[in-house]
Amino acid sequence: MKGHLILLDHLDGPDGPVEAAALLRDGQLEDLLVDSDAPRPGTIYRARADRPVKGQGGMFLTTPDGPAFLRQVKGLSPGEPLLVQVTGHAEPGKAIPVTTKLLFKSRYAIVTPGAPGLNVSRQIKDDDIRDSLLEIAHEVMDGHPVHDLDGGLILRSSCEGADPDAVAEDIAAMADLCCQVMADATGEAEKLTEGDAPHATAWREWVMEAAIETEAGCFDHHEVVDKIAALFRPEVRIGGGTMFVEPTRAFTAVDVNTGGDTSLAAGLKANLAMARDLPRQLRLRGLGGVVILDLAPMPKKDRRSFEGALRAALKTDDTDTVMAGWTPLGNYELQRKRARQPLTEVVAKEMLE
């Protein structure tokens, strides 16, 4: 099938069906969301400060779902309650990563308590559309109690072409939720809101024009289970070459091979092909942290071309990734946010058989 296709279905898990969402483009798996028992990003807790970490400027917190870790905190004493939001997934045995900079995020609007101002996504270039969106924002936000919280608003790029009433309803819903949560800042540790599950996240984030299928069994009909099973194998075909994506405890190693191509340009061709597909592979496999690229041999003069291709590919990915640069041995290093759980932790191979 040509174009984008969104599939909302479930995978068989050891404890019953697991909610999942898949995004296909021209039949290729572009994104995959699978639910798990771990705290979802976006979850908001009323936490309790536990103990500071000397030398790191952080604080361990108590939450209903286990310990959390807050970075760069000052003026917080043990025992104090505070509102925090889950920012990503923790590695096994580590605390939940959280922040005090709360975001109330939906399909069209992001309400930002403590960060006043009305802003429209820079991706919306048309001045008339920007002005009309700001008019909607002022109609909803002016006089709303969220102003007492120094609340601000960001209108997302998905607002372009959207129904004005839907945008207004989204803004009002997020502003109301913000006021409700911020008014509940005192008391024992408690979960105040749950992060979005895969189906809700797909509605919020996959805003491109797409066909949507929601009936049970649509994963099987479009061979999504087979595509997921392929992600458990390290080898990935990239044009005439291959790359091997292999996570270890310390980092993820990506090895690039030219295959049977022995031409002078084979190394650069394979490396460019890897750069274009790498963000998708890391996203689908749920991999973050340090990523080390063991590239195919190529002249040093071609490094700039490789970096340009990698930078362009990463711009299309929502996960923050730092291009750390070249190592003395000629490898290339990335530092990627752990925004998702590894696929191997949320989907067991037995579920795919």
Ranges of each domain in the chain = 44-99, 104-186, 231-346
Q: What is the pLDDT of residue 73?
A: 79
Q: What is the pLDDT of residue 259?
A: 83
Q: What is the pLDDT of residue 261?
A: 81
Beta-ladder partners of 84: 45
- Radius of gyration for the chain, computed over Cα atoms and rounded to the nearest angstrom: 22
- State how far the Cα of 168 lies from the Cα of 270, in Å rounded to an integer: 48
283, with CB counted inside 10 A (0-12, 13-18, 19+), is buried
β-strand 66-70 against 96-99: which pairing, if any? parallel
How many C-beta atoms surround the C-beta of residue 286 within 10 A? 24
Could you give the C-alpha distances from 53 to 50, 61, 70, 194, in angstroms and in order? Answer: 10, 11, 10, 27
Q: Which amino acid is at 151?
A: G
**Residue labelled with tokens 């590239």:** 295
- State how far the Cα of 297 lies from the Cα of 305, in Å rounded to an integer: 14
Does the CA dihedral 104-208-161-318 come out positive or negative? positive
Q: What is the pLDDT of residue 351?
A: 57
The class that CATH gives domain 231-346 is alpha beta
Considering the entire predicted model, what is its pTM? 0.91
Q: What is the pLDDT of residue 352?
A: 58
Q: What are the per-10-residue average pLDDT scores of the chain (353 residues)?
A: 93 81 97 93 96 83 95 84 93 90 97 95 95 96 91 96 96 97 95 97 96 95 94 92 94 94 89 97 95 96 96 94 96 94 80 57
CB 228 within 8 A of CB 32: yes
Q: What is the pLDDT of residue 353?
A: 55
Q: What is the pLDDT of residue 350?
A: 54
- 3-state class (DSSP) for residue 8: strand
Q: Is the domain defined by 44-99 classed in CATH 2.60.120?
A: no
Q: What is the pLDDT of residue 349?
A: 60
